Amino acid sequence: NLLLEALYTGERYVSGDNANVLPQVDGSTLINLAVSRQLQNYHVGLRVNNLSNRKYDDFVTPFGVNPAPERNYRLEVGVEL
């Protein structure tokens, strides 16, 4: 199986800015890719999140920002008993 995923988040207001007077946080598009294979009762998969290694802020408040994770990988191995 092959999965190509695009997640779009539009511009948004800073969390806690109830009057909406601060500049909006830029929108972003995140691309993820995953491949998996079922072999008898085994499952193997690899996922790459943030394929383009885009730098963006996940959570923004008037007091600071929480940067989103950079490119990261996940390997899955499973067995069905």
| Whole-prediction pTM | 0.80
Using an 8 Å Cβ cutoff, are 31 and 9 in contact? Answer: no
Average pLDDT over residues 36-55: 96
pLDDT tens digit sequence for 35-44: 999 999 999 9
Whole-angstrom distance, CA of residue 79 vs CA of residue 17:
48
pLDDT at 62 over 90: no
Q: What torsion do the CA atoms of 61, 62, 63, 67 make, to the nearest 10 degrees?
A: 40
pLDDT of the residue at 25 = 87
Residue 61, pLDDT score:
86
For residue 5, the tally of other CB atoms under 10 A from its CB is: 12
Please work out, in degrees rounded to the nearest 5, the angle formed at the alpha carbon of residue 6 by the alpha carbons of 35 and 37.
10
Q: In which band, very low, low, confident or very high, does the pLDDT at 10 lie, cut at 50, 70 and 90? A: very high
